[in-house]
Each structure stands twice: as structure tokens, then as C-alpha cells.
Structure 1
Amino acid sequence: MTEQSTAAPGDTRKAGFDRRLLPPMMLGSVLNPINSTIIAVALVPIGVAFGAPVSQTAWLVSALYLATALGQPIVGRLIDLFGPRRLFLLSTSLVGIAGVVGTLAPNLGVLIAARVLLGFGTCAGYPAAMALVRSEAERTGQDSPAGVLTTLAVTNQTIAVVGPLLGGLLIGLGGWRSTFALNIPLAVVAVVLGRLRLPEQPPTRTAGRGGLASQVDLPGMGLFAAMLFSLLLFLMNLRPGDWYLPVITVAAAVGFTLRELRAKTPFIDLRVLGGNAPLLATYGRALVAYIVSYAFLYGFTQWTEESYGLSPFHAGLVQIPMFLVGIGVSVTVGRRGGVLGKLLLGGVGQIVACALMLTLTAASPIWALVLLAVVFGVPQGSNSLALQNSVYVQADPERTGSSAGLLRTFAYMGSMIASSATAASFGERASTEGMHHLAWIMLGAGVLYLLITVVDRSLRRVSVDRAGSSSSPASS
């Protein structure tokens, strides 16, 4: 159904979201998840090819999310200042370069470097999409993004369905290198669509005052990068010998805080963010939710291949029910404006799924694995949509891009913890005992997620309506 404008006669605002923006928005936002899900079934073949254990191939996961966690809020802030088009084109071009490097990689180190490039290359897609949703709301005079936000969530779920299966097919046809080569045509299409359809938006009024150096908080970005990089390195490989990393994190955090409180145009406005408790709670929920999600995606998949004996293709098939259910849940709950019910559904679903995971052994019937994937589909579809909608409503409208980037940063911090937990639980081999150890960690994260949701009273007033308005504690 076409949305009708409520603008008064003589108002120059145009009716309806510009549907031509959807293809580049959707393609840009899925470049990261498609690489996430494909690599899940490629880890074992890559390990065999280079003689690398699970603890080393885990860096293929960590490298992408480390780069993306650093880059997303930075690129998001640049999108807030200068518009999404040029950042989108630059970033997606890097995806193609990463595809070439990964396809030709002679060793694991170069392959990890390609994943770093992929991380930076996929930084612009999601913040650009969220910024475009916001700018279209301003252009049309309507703030009814639920349909578009649901479309983005469902697109990501659909790609997640295709990813493991596509990865298994590509590995069967052309080996694991073909999973990197796929990025070359994807990047070409993304760049072409971006050039043809993304608007030439002028810089914001804030960006227009002074030069680039006066508006982009380079010292703040540098301190933020040092803080996050040292923290994530520590989380990825927890050991006493790395005691200096949290020291660097604390020092960089202090410097970052002092810088941002004094800066005229801060990279992250800590005064605004610190006063926005609902948004901070959303970021906390994202962190623990993605610990569960990514530990299952990578840890469970490796267990199905190494201990249960499935091929990469069949391991991908086992994941499909999770993503199909996730799509159905996203479409169903996306019709409702509130986020509290979605979060509670996701929280309970995580706990039930983790409990089921503890019952599996190498002798379990295949239907038990499929049942687990089905149950995991409930939080997969509910949580991502609820978190996305929460940030859209709770964030400062002028910082939509950077706020969306920070959401992904916290999600990727969760993925880093999940990757570290997976490596620690499995060691040299993805055994059943290690899988159960990982499930206990996931269960603890799931319980924490539910507690954070239950005690957050502000969620009762957060709503994104399909045909009306967005409301939150800040706006109501």
C-alpha cells in the first residue's frame, strides 16, 4: 500500500518513501551478514588447507568484526555529517578489493588481512540505510519507518538463510576460495546501484561550518579506536600475559572521555549519550544477544562438522530452519509497534534454545539438531528487529548513522566474546564436551539479556508504528 502524505496544501514535502533506495540499502546492509554466515561453513576447510587449528581460524571471524566494530561508528558519524552516498561507494569498493585478496591468499595471514578489509568495506551499509530512512522521513514529513526497518531485518534474515547453504555449494564447486570471490560481483553491483540511486545529499549544516578537520573529531576517533582495539584484542584471547591490554583500554577510555567532553564537535557526544539511559540499555542488550547468536552460528556449526560428522553443505542445511523461522518471526512481530514484547520473546527463546543445546551429543538424531535450529530462529528474528527499532526511536535524529554504527559495534563486541568463548571451549577440536561448555556460557548471556529487558521500564513506551509515529521516553 502506498503511503499518503499528510502535508498541508502548499507544502513542498513529497509523499511516500522513495522505493528506488531500497535495493542499494538492502544490498549494502547484507554485505556483512553474508560474509559472516558463509565463513561459518568455510572455517573447517580453511583450517585443513592451511593446517590451522580452531584457535587460529577463529581469527577469520574476529578480524572482520574487529574492523567493523571500529569502523561502523566512525563511518556512521561521517555519514551523519556528509551524507551516505560517497561513504557507501568508498566502503563497498573495498569489499571488491577484499574479495580479490581473499581469493588469491597464499596463507592464513593474508586471508585474515582480507577479512579485515571486508570489515572496513562493510562499515557503511547499515548506517547509510538507517540514515536514509531518517532523511526520507524528514523529506516526506512522515515518520513511519516500521515497514522499511522490517524489510531491512527480513533481508538480513534472508541472506542469513542463503549464506550457509551458498557457502556449502560454493565450497563444493570451487573450494573455500570461491566464498571470497563472491564479494567481487557483489561489490560491483553495490557500487553501480549506489551511483545510480543514492541521492547527492549536501553536507549537514554542522559539516558545512569550517573545514573537514574542524568538524571530524580525529583525536576522539583515534582514542576510541585505541580503546576498542585493545579491549577486543583482550577479549579475543583471554590470558594473564595480556594484562597490559586492559590497562591500555582504561587509559584510552580516560583520554577519550576527556576529549569528547571538551570537543566542540565530538565524535560521540557523551553528555547526550550518558543522559540517554534507554539507548545505553539497548546497546547492552545487543552485546549479550550477539554473544548467544554468534556462539551458536560459529560454535554449533563447527561441532556439527567435526564431531557430528556433517559436510559443510549439510551443516549449512541444518542452519536453514533457524533463518526461515527468523524471517517468519520478523515479518509477524514487525506488524506490532512496541518493542518490549519482541525483546521478551527473544530473551525466552534464547534460554530455551541454550537449554536444548545442552542435551545434544554426537549420537543425537538429526531431527534434534533441526529442532534446535527452529527454536533459535525465534530470538534470531525477534531480537534483531527489536534492537534496530529501539535505536531508531531512542537515538538523537542528527546522529542516526553513528548511533546505528554503535549498535553494530556492541553487537560485534558480543561476537568477539563469542569467538573467544568458542576458541576457549573447543581448543584444538570442536568436541561435544566443548560444545556443552559453550552452551553454558550462552545460557548465562541469555539470562542476563532477559534481566536487562525486564528491569527496563522505559521499553513500555517505545513504539514504532507502521502508519503513524515513533515514540519513546525521550519524545513522549
Structure 2
Amino acid sequence: MNARSRWLMISVGLGILLNPLNSSMISVAIARLQKVYQLDFTEVSWIIFSFYIASAIAQPVMGKASDLFGRRKIFLTGLVVAFVASLLAPLSPTFGWLIVFRIVQSIGTSMMVAVGMAIVRIHITEKQATALSVMSIFLSGAAAIGPFIGGVLIQWWDWSAIFLVNIPFVVTSFVLAWRMIPKDEPPTSVTSQMSFRKWCDLIDATGILLFIVGLVALLVGLLSAKSSGHVSLGPVIIGLIGLFALGAFVRHELKAASPFIPLRTFAKYPEMTWVNIEFMLVNVLYYSLFFGLPSYLQMVRHVSESHTGILMLSLGLCSLIVSPLAGRWIDKSGPGPALLTSGILMTLGAVWMVTMNPTSPVISVCVSLAAFGVGNGLNNVGMQVALFKSSPKEMIGVASGVFMTSRYLGTILSSLLLGIIMGGKFSAGGFRLLGVILSVIAMSLVCMSWRHRNSRQLEES
């Protein structure tokens, strides 16, 4: 691999790491933001919702936009958008404005993730597998060390530092990308002459709008009912609007020529559907701990942000270290044993959460984190292999897109679960209840993995 290819990988890697880095750093900042803006946990959880909802929509849309406008242009534009959002977010006069800039930041970083891998795949032909694995390290490594970086920055500076830290990455990536990423080829006559209406049909603008309205309205209705402490007419109406919009979304997606979420695929390939359901539940488990534990440590046990970041580092590092080892194991034994082991580990980690109290030794926290981290590392590889085995070759692209959507939906559901359980304030009792619920989910995953393993063995015999 020549020097230009290496610099191209660095320029792209510095850009794509911003999305997982910013999605993970915020976990340590939630408690501080509650104090700064005088919010309860339910309200501050929108800092998580907004980022993942925007990412779930922006990444597939920007992937399609790159075919029309060019991957280099999308990547560079994403860096500019991320720069502006990172610069303005610390100046937010209200929490509402912070949410706006957080959404803009999500869109900008999603633009880079959507085209970064494609840029490397197209322009680096020598040792391409190695190049793509390096990109994966940028993504997973940023997610792993995000809480640690966020904890240190908040402890020694303030919450605004988790936005300002992006600027050196953005500037460096932009300078390198401007020089190293080859210019886009001129668009074909078909794409250059595409009308706005055809473009909206291509990205399924109607489906996206129904999805946003339905999901946001349902979240607002559920969280408003929880924060008010009783069921009132307002939240019920908003929740019903959300359900109606989601019902209209399902109906539209089943008829759309280019659906945002290809629901027809789920009906056609039930095995692939089960893999995505399991993956969604895995992310509910992982991110409930990922976003819940930092607030528990800071608000219940009064652990500093930097020490919280250090503890959370064990979660990401366990996932990062186990993933390549899981790949070798799965190559030999298939995904079944790894997924079953993952479910058992996450069950043990969730049960261990139930036993924790404000005076439990730090080692108790580390045991739960290690169990979830190793389980997540096994799942990251095992679920992808299971997905490819359950998907026809001609559907791999669509299946991968749906797989990422399942990840985002799981993350959003984890935040909703935390908001409903914790309500206004994080407590030791709420954390134990969270552990009970996660234990049930994890045991359900074990049962699903066992059932699928036995059914595959019967098919092979």
C-alpha cells in the first residue's frame, strides 16, 4: 500500500470516527447537562434520541445522495456541517438549541459514515480488506474510548469540551481529504437531470416524514405521561398521533417502490427478520447499560466524570478485544455458539446489576461491564455472520441497511426504557429495576439463540 493510500485512509478515518465518538461521549455528559439546564432525566434523554433518530435517517439518505452529487462532495460537506455544529453547540442558550445543533452534528457526521467506506473501497484497490478493517477500527475504537475522552474533558473543562474536541479532527480530516480524495466523476445524464420529485421518491421522503412524526410523537406521548406521573389527555392524544403515523408508515412502506425501510423483505425472509429482532434486543441491552451506568455512577454513587469514563472504558475495550477473537471462533463453529454465549454473559451481567447497591465495591461494576462488553463483542461479529447466512446474495446490500436500522432502533428503545424507568431522577432502585428488565430481555435472547441453534442443527442433519 503506497503513501497516498495511507493518507487517504487517515483522512477518511478521522472523519468517520466523529459519529461513534460523539454518540458515545455524551453518555458521561448526561448528568452534567441535567444540572446545567435544570432538567429531569426524561427530558435530557432527548440528547440521545435526537442523535440516533437523525443518524438512522441521514445515513441511508446520504448514501443515495452520494450517487447523485458525488462521494467526495458529500464527505467534505459533512465535515463543514460537523464543524459548524461543534462550534455552535457550546453557545446554546437553551437545551432546545442544543438539541438542534446535536441533530445538525448527527447529520454532518452521518454524511461521512455513509460514504467513507465506499471511498476507501473504490480508491484503494491494493490490500482492500486491510484498508476496510482499519476503517472498522476507527469506528469501533472511537465508540470504545468515547466515554473515557468525554469523562476526562468534562472533569477538567466542561460539557462544552465534548463538542469543541471535534474541531481538530474536522480540520485535519478536511485538509487531508481535500488533497487525497480524488474528484468525483461527472454525474450521468440520468442523475444530473433528476427532478426534485424523483429525488424525493428515490429517498422515500414520504416514508421518512411519517417515520419521524410517528416515532417522535410516540416518544413524546410516552415520556410526557411518565414525567407527569399520571395519564392525561394531552400525552394520550400525542401518543395516538404517533401510532397512527407509524401505521400509515407501515402501509406506505409496503407499497413504496423504493422504501426507506423495506418491510416487504421482512415478510419474504423470516429468518433474516429474526436476526434483526435479536440484534435490536442486543442493542437495547448494551445501550441501556452504556447510557444508564454513567448516570448511576455520577448521580447515585457520586463518582467523578473522569473516573466514570475510566470505568466505562472497560466496556468498550472488552468489545474491541473480543471481536477479532470471536471472528476466529465463528469461522470454525458458526455464529450459534457465540450468540448463545453472548446471551448468557449478558444475562449474568444484568443479574449482577440487580445485586448492586450504592456501597457495592467498584469490582462489582467492572464485572457487569466486562460481561456486557464481551457479550457485545461476540454479538457484533456473530449477528453479522448470521445476517449474511440468512440473506440471499442479491439482498446483501438491503439486508445491511436494515441491519443498521435495527441497531439504531435498539439504541432509541434503550433510551426510551431508561426515560420511562428513571423518570425525573436516577436512583438506586430504578437502576435495580433496569437490571431486572434487562435480565428478562437477556434470557429471552438466550432462548431465541438456543432455538435457532437447534433448528439449524436439524436442518444440517
TM bucket (normalised to shorter chain) is 0.7 to 0.9
Cα drift, residue 310 of structure 1 = 0.3
The equivalent position to 1:299 in structure 2, one of 292, 296, 310, is 292
Q: Which residue of 2 aligns with 1:330?
A: 323
Distance change (3 Å), C-alpha of 1:34 and 1:351: same
Instruction: Say which is worse superposed, 95-104 or 281-290, in terms of deviation.
Output: 281-290
Tell me if the contact between 1:91 and 1:122 (Cα under 8 Å) persists in the aligned partners.
Answer: yes
Say which SS state the counterpart of residue 347 (structure 1) adopts: helix
Structure 2 CA distance, aligned partners of 1:382 and 1:218?
A: 36
Q: Which residue of 1 aligns with 2:230?
A: none
Equivalent AA in structure 2 for residue 50 of structure 1: Y
Cα drift, residue 99 of structure 1 = 0.5
The alignment of Structure 1 onto Structure 2 pairs a total of residues equal to: 440
Q: Which residue of 2 aligns with 1:186?
A: 169
Question: Aligned pair 1:442/2:438, yes or no?
Answer: yes
Structure 1 CA distance, aligned partners of 2:448 and 2:123?
A: 32
The equivalent position to 1:230 in structure 2, one of 214, 217, 232, is 214
Structure 1 CA distance, aligned partners of 2:171 and 2:220?
A: 33
Structure 2 CA distance, aligned partners of 1:81 and 1:149?
A: 24
Distance change (3 Å), C-alpha of 1:59 and 1:253: same
Structure 2 CA distance, aligned partners of 1:235 and 1:203?
A: 43
Q: What are the Cα deviations for residues 5-63 of structure 1, in whole angstroms up to 9, with x where unaligned?
A: xxxxxxxxxx9x96555334433332222112211111111111121121211111111
Q: What are the Cα deviations for residues 374-427 of structure 1, in whole angstroms up to 9, with x where unaligned?
A: 222102322223345555777788887765444332212111111111112112
Q: Which residue of 1 aligns with 2:339?
A: 343
Q: Which residue of 2 aligns with 1:6?
A: none
Say which SS state the counterpart of residue 364 (structure 1) adopts: coil
Structure 2: which 5+ residue stretches go unaligned?
226-234
Distance change (3 Å), C-alpha of 1:266 and 1:296: closer
Cα drift, residue 363 of structure 1 = 1.1
Cα drift, residue 201 of structure 1 = 5.1
Q: Which residue of 1 aligns with 2:283?
A: 290
Cα drift, residue 150 of structure 1 = 4.8
- Report matched runs for 1:239-250 at 5 Å: 239=225, 241=236, 242-250=239-247
Q: Which residue of 1 aligns with 2:351?
A: 355
Equivalent AA in structure 2 for residue 445 of structure 1: I
Tell me if the contact between 2:216 and 2:242 (Cα under 8 Å) persists in the aligned partners.
Answer: no
Instruction: Say which is worse superposed, 176-185 or 203-212, in terms of deviation.
Output: 203-212
Distance change (3 Å), C-alpha of 1:197 and 1:255: same
Tell me if the contact between 2:253 and 2:259 (Cα under 8 Å) persists in the aligned partners.
Answer: no
Structure 2 CA distance, aligned partners of 1:458 and 1:65?
A: 35
Q: Which residue of 1 aligns with 2:250?
A: 253
Tell me if the contact between 2:342 and 2:378 (Cα under 8 Å) persists in the aligned partners.
Answer: yes
- Report matched runs for 1:251-290 at 5 Å: 251-258=248-255, 260=256, 263=257, 271=264, 274-290=267-283
Cα drift, residue 373 of structure 1 = 1.6
Instruction: Say which is worse superposed, 438-447 or 355-364, in terms of deviation.
Output: 438-447
Distance change (3 Å), C-alpha of 1:52 and 1:215: closer
Equivalent AA in structure 2 for residue 87 of structure 1: I
Distance change (3 Å), C-alpha of 1:457 and 1:250: same
Tell me if the contact between 1:232 and 1:416 (Cα under 8 Å) persists in the aligned partners.
Answer: no
Distance change (3 Å), C-alpha of 1:452 and 1:92: farther
Q: RMSD in angstroms over aligned alpha carbons?
A: 3.5
Q: Which residue of 1 aligns with 2:19?
A: 32
Structure 1: which 5+ residue stretches go unaligned?
3-14, 462-472
Question: Aligned pair 1:59/2:55, yes or no?
Answer: no
Q: What are the Cα deviations for residues 447-471 of structure 1, in whole angstroms up to 9, with x where unaligned?
A: 333344444469969xxxxxxxxxx
The equivalent position to 2:153 in structure 1, one of 170, 176, 198, is 170
Q: What are the Cα deviations for residues 316-368 of structure 1, in whole angstroms up to 9, with x where unaligned?
A: 11111122221210121233534444433322221121111111000101111
The equivalent position to 2:58 in structure 1, one of 66, 71, 83, is 71
Say which SS state the counterpart of residue 334 (structure 1) adopts: helix
The equivalent position to 1:418 in structure 2, one of 396, 414, 419, is 414
Which structure would you say has the larger RCO, counting Cα contacts within 8 Å and 6 or more residues apart?
1
Q: What are the Cα deviations for residues 117-158 of structure 1, in whole angstroms up to 9, with x where unaligned?
A: 122122233332444576579x67x9x84x556544443342
Distance change (3 Å), C-alpha of 1:63 and 1:21: same
Structure 2 CA distance, aligned partners of 1:347 and 1:196?
A: 46
Tell me if the contact between 2:207 and 2:260 (Cα under 8 Å) persists in the aligned partners.
Answer: no
Distance change (3 Å), C-alpha of 1:188 and 1:133: closer
Q: What are the Cα deviations for residues 140-181 of structure 1, in whole angstroms up to 9, with x where unaligned?
A: 7x9x84x55654444334223321221122112321111111
Q: Which residue of 2 aligns with 1:9?
A: none
Tell me if the contact between 1:339 and 1:389 (Cα under 8 Å) persists in the aligned partners.
Answer: yes
Q: Which residue of 2 aligns with 1:7?
A: none
The structure with more helix, counted as a fraction of residues: 2
Structure 1 CA distance, aligned partners of 2:211 and 2:74?
A: 24
Tell me if the contact between 1:349 and 1:375 (Cα under 8 Å) persists in the aligned partners.
Answer: yes
Equivalent AA in structure 2 for residue 92 of structure 1: L
Equivalent AA in structure 1 for residue 170 of structure 2: A
Structure 1 CA distance, aligned partners of 2:318 and 2:285?
A: 17
Q: Which residue of 1 aligns with 2:204?
A: 220
- Report matched runs for 1:34-49 at 5 Å: 34-49=21-36
Q: Which residue of 2 aligns with 1:8?
A: none
Structure 2 CA distance, aligned partners of 1:194 and 1:235?
A: 38
Instruction: Say which is worse superposed, 89-98 or 269-278, in terms of deviation.
Output: 269-278
Tell me if the contact between 1:79 and 1:131 (Cα under 8 Å) persists in the aligned partners.
Answer: no
The equivalent position to 2:306 in structure 1, one of 303, 309, 313, is 313
Provide the TM-score with structure 1 as the length reference: 0.81
Structure 2 CA distance, aligned partners of 1:166 and 1:297?
A: 15
Cα drift, residue 97 of structure 1 = 1.4
Instruction: Say which is worse superposed, 310-319 or 205-214, in terms of deviation.
Output: 205-214
Tell me if the contact between 2:349 and 2:367 (Cα under 8 Å) persists in the aligned partners.
Answer: no
Equivalent AA in structure 2 for residue 221 of structure 1: A
